[in-house]
């Protein structure tokens, strides 16, 4: 028997650079995984190219993460061939792309009894490009009263493409004039009219395998400020329902890398979009949640490869429909039954047990990488490629502040988990730990002729000695008052919110990050202006006169 197995992972990418770089860096830190049968598993990744292919060509990649085929047909057909002929595991399967429309997801959720707002599909505004359109429409297309449909749904309402994504073509309609204007602009897009419901929160859930992160999403803000860092914005019941509905819909369609949107009123959750073939994982939008997303993607990929999880291209809808038609179950009973099938699909319990046994070091490795100069370079390159030059420094400070907040919270969570393990009653001896990877090598020297960033050199030397950032994490856990130079004053709360409401109750104060990287109090006042004697925090501070530190020290 071969005692060593190399698992190649393919990345099918578009224009993205940030998360692929992060995925590759974290995957290298996973190191070899030794299973109970004595096999040593290692992992490599490669970015795929697009070229002609023979249908009988072998495929050497065991798993492919696809970010391109939802709009690019050539790689989509290669993925189909890889899944059917070669058994390649895909995130996501192209056979579910037809279901990646809002329309199909709405129909499935309605069939399962979930609370989807009233939705009406209306015909195209402009003729489709087909010679058969004119005779067919003249014979069979009936006239309809758009205003009457909208009045029946009630204002305000939303008009959006039946297969849209990324907020393409979405309009909030307040009156009849806006209704006809938006419909005239829709052209050849097939549109939904959807009623809105009273809601307190707009939530967005990112799911990777059995892991789900439900985030406070503010759609009216620019992308860099849409995700608020708020761990307790939903009640425990609403949080559990949001996670359960996300996992159920993903299992129903076979999606393993998907995002969902929902409106929340009290404990009620109303799904409005559960189909995204290419969910947003950019560091400039997820910021605080970016490390979790990459860690979950690496963790699920490694689990699928080492355990030999088979690729599935068929759906088991009849099991869900049997529950939906059971008159003895109420809504909560049906959701619990759906969730049981979904957890079976994702092997949720086995997944977490396996990760605890074979990837116990991954949390520490991700935290170490996020505090490294490699992450700094990735973030700096991404910001400079995304924003105008004159705004790059301001946005770099903004994202550094948010990521630094994650570093402190993650350190507190890891210490709390370690404390719980020490307090647990003794049980059977644990399995032998997985082989730990060697420490990462020091950063390579800069190319000849390139100016060396003295800050990076000083920071690397500090990390080699005692790491002030780690000392800051330790001190922050005791509830001390801290400020980050040039960014914010804040009284830190030591309570740790759960990433998944089904695994840990979301606790702790709400922390709403302002667009400039500061922290706002519950009364709306900006904490970074709370000290009138600090010249860096006065009302009209000019970043050009007193530049903020890029990953500045944490000062008492």
For 293-330, how does the pLDDT look when each residue is reduced to its tens digit (9 = 90+)?
999 999 999 999 999 999 877 788 999 999 999 999 99
pLDDT of residue 429: 64
| Both tokens assigned to 258 | 């998907």
pLDDT of residue 489: 32
pLDDT of residue 535: 32
| Both tokens assigned to 237 | 């019941």
Residue with the larger pLDDT of the pair 162 and 201 = 201
Residue with the larger pLDDT of the pair 10 and 274 = 10
pLDDT of residue 428: 66
Compute the distance between CA of residue 448 and CA of residue 489 in angstroms, rounded to an integer: 41
How confident is the model over 30-53, as pLDDT tens digits? 999 999 999 999 999 999 999 999
Residue with the larger pLDDT of the pair 168 and 392 = 392
How confident is the model over 401-415, as pLDDT tens digits? 999 999 999 999 999
What does the longest C-alpha to C-alpha distance in the chain come to? 80
**Which of 282-296, 385-399, 527-541 shows the lowest mean pLDDT across its residues?**
527-541
Instruction: Name the band, by pLDDT with cuts 50, 70 and 90, for residue 167.
Output: low
Give the pLDDT mean for 450-478: 43
Compute the distance between CA of residue 277 and CA of residue 297 in angstroms, rounded to an integer: 15
What's the count of helices (H) and strands (E) in the chain, helices before strands?
17, 19
Give the pLDDT mean for 126-141: 85
Q: Is the pLDDT of residue 457 over 60?
A: no
**Which of 94-103, 188-197, 385-394 shows the lowest mean pLDDT across its residues?**
94-103
What's the first-to-final CA gap in the chain, in angstroms?
Answer: 58
Q: Is the pLDDT of residue 450 over 80?
A: no
Angle at alpha carbon of residue 314, lines to 346 and 302, rounded to 5°: 35
How confident is the model over 490-542, as pLDDT tens digits? 333 323 234 444 343 333 334 443 333 333 333 443 433 333 333 333 333 33
């Amino acid at each position: 028997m071969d005692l060593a197995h190399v698992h190649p992972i393919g990345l099918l990418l578009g224009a993205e650079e940030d998360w692929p770089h992060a995925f590759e860096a974290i995957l290298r830190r996973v190191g070899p995984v030794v299973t109970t049968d004595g096999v040593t598993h290692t992992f490599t990744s490669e970015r795929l190219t697009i070229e002609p292919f023979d249908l009988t060509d072998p495929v050497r990649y065991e798993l492919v993460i696809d970010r391109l085929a939802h709009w690019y047909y050539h790689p989509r057909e290669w993925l189909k061939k890889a899944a059917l002929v070669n058994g390649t595991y895909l995130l996501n399967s192209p056979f579910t792309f037809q279901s990646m429309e809002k329309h199909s997801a709405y129909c499935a959720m309605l069939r399962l009894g979930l609370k989807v707002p009233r939705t009406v599909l209306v015909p195209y505004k402009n003729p489709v490009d087909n010679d058969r359109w004119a005779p067919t429409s003249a014979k069979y297309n009936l006239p309809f009263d758009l205003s009457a449909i909208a009045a029946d749904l009630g204002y305000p309402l939303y008009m959006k493409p039946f297969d849209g994504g990324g907020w393409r073509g979405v309009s909030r309609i307040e009156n009849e004039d806006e209704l006809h204007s938006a419909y005239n602009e829709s052209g050849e897009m097939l549109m939904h009219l959807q009623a809105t419901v009273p809601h307190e929160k707009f939530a967005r859930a990112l799911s990777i395998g059995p892991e789900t992160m439900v985030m406070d999403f503010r759609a009216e803000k620019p992308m860099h400020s849409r995700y608020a860092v708020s761990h307790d914005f939903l009640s425990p019941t609403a949080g559990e329902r949001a996670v359960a509905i996300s996992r159920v819909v993903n299992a129903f369609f076979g999606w393993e890398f998907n995002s969902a949107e929902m409106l929340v009123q009290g404990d009620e959750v109303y799904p409005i979009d559960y189909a995204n073939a290419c969910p947003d994982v950019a560091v400039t939008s997820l910021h605080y949640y970016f490390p979790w997303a990459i860690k979950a993607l690496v963790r699920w990929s490694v689990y699928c490869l080492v355990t030999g999880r088979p690729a599935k291209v068929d759906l088991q809808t009849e099991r869900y429909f049997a529950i939906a038609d059971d008159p003895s179950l109420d809504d909560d009973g049906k959701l619990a039954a759906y969730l049981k099938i979904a957890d079976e699909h994702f092997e949720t319990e086995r997944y977490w047990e396996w990760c605890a046994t074979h990837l116990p070091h991954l949390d520490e490795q991700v935290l170490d990488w996020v505090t490294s100069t490699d992450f700094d370079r990735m973030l700096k390159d991404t910001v400079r490629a995304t924003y105008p030059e004159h705004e790059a420094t301001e946005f770099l400070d903004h994202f550094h502040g948010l990521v630094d907040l994650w570093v402190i919270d993650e350190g507190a969570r890891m210490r709390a988990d370690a404390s719980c393990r020490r307090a647990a009653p003794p049980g059977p001896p644990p399995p032998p730990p997985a082989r730990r990877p060697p420490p990462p090598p020091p950063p390579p020297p800069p190319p000849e002729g390139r100016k060396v960033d003295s800050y990076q050199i000083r920071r690397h030397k500090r990390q080699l000695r005692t790491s002030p950032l780690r000392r800051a994490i330790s001190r922050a856990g005791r509830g001390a008052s801290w400020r980050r130079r040039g960014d914010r004053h804040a009284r830190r709360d030591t309570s740790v919110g759960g990433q998944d409401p089904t695994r840990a109750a979301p606790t702790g104060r709400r922390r709403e990050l302002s667009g400039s990287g500061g922290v706002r109090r519950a009364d709306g006042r900006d904490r970074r202006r709370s000290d009138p004697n600090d010249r860096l925090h006065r009302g009209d501070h000019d970043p050009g006169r007193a530049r903020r530190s890029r990953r500045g020290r944490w000062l008492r």
